[in-house]
Amino acid sequence: MSELIVIGYDDPAVARDAFTTVQDLQRDYVVHLNGLAVVSVDADGETHVDTPSRIVGASVTSGAVWGAIFGLLFLLPGVGLLTGAAVGGLIGKLSKSGLDDRFRQQVQNLLKPGSAAVVIMTSKLTDDKFTVAMQPHGGTVLKTSLSDADEKELAEQLAGTQ
């Protein structure tokens, strides 16, 4: 099972500090990352994404799923208007697995001009240590889950092997 955690911040500098903390937590084996990014929105409303160059332990499958989820959350604002069996199936599967329009809207609401969010996809998390380490940064936390079966099915859909 993977957890998708989005932590919103009013100050992009705080989000970058939180991003660094998450990377430190991975090195300390508190979190096992499948994906990590800071998404910021500048004063003009333009979205910017910063990801680490490499996430140790992330598989190709989790990377593909991460990319799809990330794209649907942040990079495709008109996703409801898209057509096509592959995209439609992927969106439908994400909706059933907890990544529905409501969650997407909550994420979008966090990202106002001048704000930022840390986006974390993890397959293992030591909750108490993670919470203590992240607490000084504050923020608004959104969280949802993907089962192992959902992740596998999403990866297969992305690879086109149904």
Which tens digits make up the pLDDT trace of 121-142? 888 999 999 999 999 999 999 9
pLDDT of residue 79: 41
Which tens digits make up the pLDDT trace of 10-57? 999 999 999 999 999 999 999 998 888 898 989 998 888 887 765 544
Tell me the β-bridge partners of 8.
117, 140
pLDDT of residue 64: 60
The values of phi and psi at residue 99, to 5°, are: -100, 60
List the chain domain ranges: 2-66+77-159
Query: In whole angstroms, what is the distance from residue 97 CA to residue 155 CA?
Result: 13
Q: 121, 4 in Cβ contact below 8 A?
A: yes
